[in-house]
Amino acid sequence: MSGGDAAKPSDALVFFGATGDLAYKKIFPALQRMAHRGKLDFPVIGVAKSGWTDEQLVERARDSVAKHAGLDEEAFKVLAQKLRYVDGDYNDPATLERLKAALDKEGAQRPTHYLAIPPSMFGTVVQRLKDAGCQQGARVVVEKPFGRDLESARALNEILHKVFDESAIYRIDHYLGKEAVQNILYFRFSNAFLEPIWNRNYVDNIQITMAESFGVEGRGKFYEETGVIRDVIQNHLLQVVGFLAMEPPSSHASDAIRDEQAKVLRTVRELDNTHMVRGQFRGYRDEAGVAKDSFMGTYATLKLWIDSWRWADVPFFVRAGKKLKLSVTEVIVEFKNPPQVVFKEPAFSQGNYVRFRLGPQVQIGIGARAKRPGEGMAGRPVELSVVQQQTSDEMDAYERLLGDAMAGDATLFARYDTVEAAWRIVDPVIHGPSELWKYEPGSWEPPQADKLVAAVGGWNTPQ
Ligand code: BG6
């Protein structure tokens, strides 16, 4: 078993699936940015079975950064010098022997192996890594989807644990690498004024919206096997729920944060169909790779309950969908209204809240009320802006996560128990039949979803 070496940085990056989509869209651009910051000081070995040479991999990397990041000649030169290619079938021991020889040639003793390949290949690759002695002192980075339900996630964990210790396994959820998501954690635990009101006594409800105005963009086949709950809710949005709802961690240490994350997800009640509304945008069934009678949801609202001392009876609404009106991801923590005994105004439609905009911009705002100018004591909603940030130098999630994995910092990676706890929540509703409502592309959602939120006065729709 390999436990990795948390104290020492890795000295080589190996990525399986070097000629694939993920490498093209995310990994090369992240590596170029690392080079730009002077952080790319290790060899990068791509493995695939495309019959390529080192030069072809460099060309692919050049294309990738030109398309997805902008070519930065100087940084790219550094990346090109670091790139090596190992060709072969993952199931063939000779491939891994070539990899071992390439690592030895570089003098690498603590590689990070990034599995940018389908999960069905994980078992083969980790076993072959072990057979070739490439797992010694190594870490392994795996991509989502991490299973397609609780059972398959457990099976995948077992496969990985046969070769790697949990401390050496880094499961990527790129949401955790986002500046705005980390800011939830920072904002909550570095401000004294929030903690006394961050609970069921003051919070009325919490709403999380991840709206995307685009559709499945050529990923029809993938989406048919996934659907919105597996694609973005079980992983990204439940991690966000965890950050919003967790108890204060005992420190900033990676396991202290992940312990609280796992703890809170374990207290989220399992879903049933009465707490979910699913939708499918009109036109989805005409997408390439999608069945004409597809029953896959491209939209869902879930109403979650957290059975903890802090959150009992506070509904958490989570909604996500494709082809909605806007592309925006936002959290609204809505507070209870004060008693209307002084000014006797009609019930406010908008009272106090904290708003975290997670994308496309990073924003934090606090909703308050102020007097409307003029006679009488009537108010209007105002927002105090805490953060408005859109820096060009912001670290991309993949750059951040790759850097952390190389450095051995697992804080922003999903631990097996968090992943399993998140699957447990959605597992009861992802297998069986449930209603599916059509919605128009460019709308906010199927109207049936409004019923779930009616009791809290409806959605706080992002603008
Ligand atoms: C991915 C999903 O994990 O996250 C996509 O597969 C989704 O369907 C994407 O569009 C959203 O991430 P981001 O960072 O673009 O908001």
What is the spatial distance between Cα 206 and Cα 223, in angstroms, rounded to a whole number? 28
What is the spatial distance between Cα 309 and Cα 65, in angstroms, rounded to a whole number? 48
Nearest to 280 by CA among 238, 237, 323: 323
> Which of 148, 181, 212, 331, when mutated, tests ligand 1's pocket best, judged by the most ligand atoms within 8 Å of its CB?
212
Q: What pLDDT, on a 0 to 100 scale, did the predictor assign at position 393? A: 56
* pTM, rounded to two decimals: 0.93
The three-point CA angle 263-265-269 to 5° equals 120
In single-letter form, the type of residue at position 12 comes to A
Q: 139-142 and 169-171 as β-strands: parallel, antiparallel, unpaired?
A: parallel
Alpha-carbon separation of residue 415 from 92, 157, 283, 351, 462 (angstroms): 30, 10, 37, 37, 31
Q: What pLDDT, on a 0 to 100 scale, did the predictor assign at position 394? A: 65
Q: What pLDDT, on a 0 to 100 scale, did the predictor assign at position 387? A: 79
Q: Convert the pLDDT of each residue in 367-398 to its tens digit.
A: 999 999 998 888 899 999 987 776 555 678 89
Q: Convert the pLDDT of each residue in 308-330 to its tens digit.
A: 999 999 999 999 999 999 999 99
Q: What pLDDT, on a 0 to 100 scale, did the predictor assign at position 144? A: 85
Q: What pLDDT, on a 0 to 100 scale, did the predictor assign at position 350? A: 81
The three-point CA angle 267-269-273 to 5° equals 165
Nearest CA to ligand 1 atom 16: 359
Tell me the residue ranges of DSSP E strands in 198-351.
203-211, 276-281, 299-304, 316-321, 328-335
Between the two ends of the chain, the Cα-to-Cα distance in Å is 50
> Which of 21, 146, 174, when mutated, tests ligand 1's pocket best, judged by the most ligand atoms within 8 Å of its CB?
174
- Ligand 1 pocket, CB under 6 A: 174, 212, 231-232, 359
Q: Which residues of the chain have pLDDT under 50?
A: 1-5
Å from CA of 211 to ligand 1 middle: 10
What is the spatial distance between Cα 156 and Cα 146, in angstroms, rounded to a whole number? 8
